[in-house]
Amino acid sequence: MSPTSRPRSLPSTVSRTGSTLTLGEAEFDLRTGKLRNLYGLPVDGPRLELWRAPTDNDRSDSRGTFELAGSNYAGGEGVPGPSSEQRWRQRGLDRLTHRVREVRHDADQLAVQVRVAAANSSQFVDVSYYWWIDQGPALLVEVTPSSNWDCTWPRVGVRFDLPPELSRASWFGTGPLESYPDTQRAARVGRFAASIDDLVVDYSRPQETGHRAALRTLEVFDGSAARLRVATVPDHAGHRPGFTLTRHTPQELDRARHPYELEPSEHVYLFVDHAVHGVGSRACGLDVQPQHALWPSARRFELRFTTP
């Protein structure tokens, strides 16, 4: 029921009560395939996300775009074209729809197939979530886009909705500040800690912020103890996903023109992104350079969840 490259589970007990499946220390809703509880922590996810709250650079159409220039273009600036935000929004990336196609389980694993479609578009992404036990719950995510995509993606990763009382994080990866493909010269690999509110930049206009690349392990705490621990698995090239931990979704940030317009948060949102689009400097300079652009392609990454 799953890719042959996925390791077989360690001996475990799978139980089902009505529409609830228990796999080790994880509970799932079999109607949706969503994770609902992990080590006693309420969780909702995973959910594919391709959107980010546009940055000032994403919104600008100045000095042209490299995205429309073609792979052999060697000019110092891009060619005339719309902003990244315009292209992304026209293709419905801010309004994805999710349709569960199949939920299957056997004695020691769970497989969920979801088709994610861009609003008002024939473009889609097929996502497979495979869960099994390897010391703790393990997740393999496989992303397969349709062949008719004609624009970059802001990001490609999964979102988990966590309780609002979580307040700080500790991680082993890049830091201490945010890092994107074209803004990581100052980032270093190490162990860091910060409150969730300090992980993001408080811009005068809410926008994408807070991504940290090449995550090894992440622990999230409430006021007294660690409640969630997640580790990434490097792929054959050594690449690891990055993470963003924030109190607002990209859609909420996108709708707000000023920080005071953001409503009190009902969740903490953990994004684990296999890749993100570069930031560029188009608000006052050049578009994202081609080597830092995120074009749609098949993606595959693994996560491990263990006792905090």
Dihedral over Cα of 167, 171, 173, 175: its sign:
positive
pLDDT of 103 over the 80 cut: yes
Least confident of 43-47, 68-72, 280-284: 68-72
pLDDT grade, residue 9 (50/70/90)?
very low
Please provide the average confidence, as pLDDT, over all residues in the chain.
93
* Token pair in block for residue 84: 């990244």
* Residue percentage of the chain with pLDDT more than 70: 95
What's the mean pLDDT in 30-54? 97
Looking at the domain assignment, is residue 215 inside a domain? Answer: yes
On whether residue 1 sits in a domain, the answer given is no
- The answer to whether the beta carbons of residues 168 and 195 sit under 8 Å apart is yes
Residue 8 within a domain: no
When pLDDT is cut at 50, 70 and 90, the band that residue 299 belongs to is very high
Burial 125-158 (b: 16+ CB within 10 A, else e): bbbbbbbbbbebbbbbbbbebeeebebbbbbbbb
Tell me which residue range forms the domain holding 267.
14-306
What confidence tier does 15 reach under pLDDT thresholds 50, 70, 90?
Answer: confident
Q: What is the pLDDT of residue 77?
A: 83
Q: How confident is the model at residue 71 (pLDDT cuts 50, 70, 90)?
A: low
Express each pLDDT in 111-139 by its tens digit. 999 999 987 789 999 999 999 998 899 99
pLDDT in tens, 217-257: 999 999 889 999 999 999 999 999 999 999 999 999 999 99
For residue 232, is it within any domain? yes
- What is the predicted pLDDT for the residue at 78? 86
Number of independent structural domains in the chain: 1
Residue 11 has pLDDT above 70, yes or no: no
**End-to-end C-alpha distance for the chain, whole angstroms:** 30
141-191: pLDDT as tens digits: 999 999 999 999 999 999 999 999 999 999 999 999 999 999 999 899 999
Residue 108 has what pLDDT?
A: 86
Matching residue, tokens 């969780």: 43
Q: How much is the pLDDT for 10? A: 45
Residue 4 lies in a domain: no
Amino acid at 291: Q
Write the DSSP string, the chain. Answer: ---TTSPPPPS--EEEETTEEEETTEEEETTTTEEEEETTEEEEEEEEE---PPPHHHH--TT-BSTTT-TT---SS-BS---HHHHHHHTTTTS-EEEEEEEEE-SSEEEEEEEEE-TTSS-EEEEEEEEEEESEEEEEEEEEE-TT--S--SEEEEEEEE-TT--EEEEEEEESS---TTS-TT-EEEEEEEEGGGGS---SS------B-S--EEEEE-SSSEEEEEEEE--TT----EEEEESS-HHHHHH-SSGGGSPPPS-EEEEEEEEE-----TTTSPPPPGGG------EEEEEEEE--
pTM, rounded to two decimals: 0.94
Q: What is the pLDDT of residue 143?
A: 98
Distance between CA atoms of residues 216 and 197, nearest Å: 21
Residue 145 domain flag: yes
Res. 5 pLDDT band, cuts 50 70 90: very low
Residue 4's pLDDT is 41
Question: Which residue, among 274, 266, 294, has the nearest Cα to 142 in the 3D structure?
Answer: 274
Is 5 a domain residue? Answer: no
- What CATH code is carried by the domain that includes residue 193? 2.70.98.10
Q: Tell me whether residue 2 is in a domain.
A: no
**CA neighbours within 13 Å on the CB side: how many for 56?**
8
